[in-house]
Structure 1
Amino acid sequence: MKALRTDLDLKQSDVAQKLGISASVYGNYEQDKRSPDYKTLAKICVFYHVSADYLLDVPTENGCFSSLSGTLRSMHPADQQRVSEYAEMLYFYRTHKK
């Protein structure tokens, strides 16, 4: 969660306020000293635009793609566009390489 928050240039208190919890409780979530209840977990997922599986680090069939998807959703839109353009360029290069 810390990486998601810092990628958005937010403080713990900013996120805590949006979630309706104290900054110290949110800090405990980031440090794995405390786990959120289901309702708060859902709020965190919605806030960061990620799945609960991503936050809980649950392995999936897609492996890195699930993680990448969560990372992309937490990025600034301009950076998302850059990643998309790079992926298209890489795909084009790989499929047209002789």
Structure 2
Amino acid sequence: MKEASFGAKIKALRTDLDLKQSDVAEKLGISQSVYGNYEQGKRNPDFETLVNICVFYQVSADYLLGVPTESGCFSALSGTLRSMHPADQQRVCEYAEMLCFYRKHKK
């Protein structure tokens, strides 16, 4: 399955937050038309703006730029973990440690 483009990713992030292009553009200190061009893939942000977009949406540049970091179910699990409450993240980590311990000591 082909990964979504930079523009598609920032559009999805924006719409998930129920924001308009003009809302995001204002927060980033750029015009709505420039931001719209990013979403449409007609233009790419400069480094400073890319950093600002990452900070605004609280995502990594690797994610937005499509840098492969994990594959398959690990990528999906990573995304799920990031969206969880910190206490639940801790529970998942403890469960994973318990599974590893069990597998290591199973006879």
TM-score normalised by the shorter chain: which range applies? 0.5 to 0.7
Matches within 5 A, 1:11-50: 11-50=20-59
1:65 CA drift (Å): 4.4
TM-score normalised according to structure 1 size: 0.67
C-alpha separation between the residues in 1 aligned to 2:76 and 2:52?
23
Instruction: Detail structure 1 runs of 4+ shifted over 4 Å in the superposition.
Output: none
C-alpha separation between the residues in 1 aligned to 2:55 and 2:33?
20
RMSD of Structure 2 on Structure 1 (CA): 2.7
Unpaired runs of 5+ in structure 2? Answer: 1-9, 100-107
Q: Paired residue for 1:68, among 65, 79, 82?
A: 79
TM-score normalised according to structure 2 size: 0.62
Structure with greater Cα Rg? 2
1:33–1:51 CA distance, 2 compared to 1 (3 A)? same
Question: Percent identity over the alignment?
Answer: 65
1:59–1:43 CA distance, 2 compared to 1 (3 A)? same
Q: Paired residue for 1:55, among 58, 61, 64?
A: 64
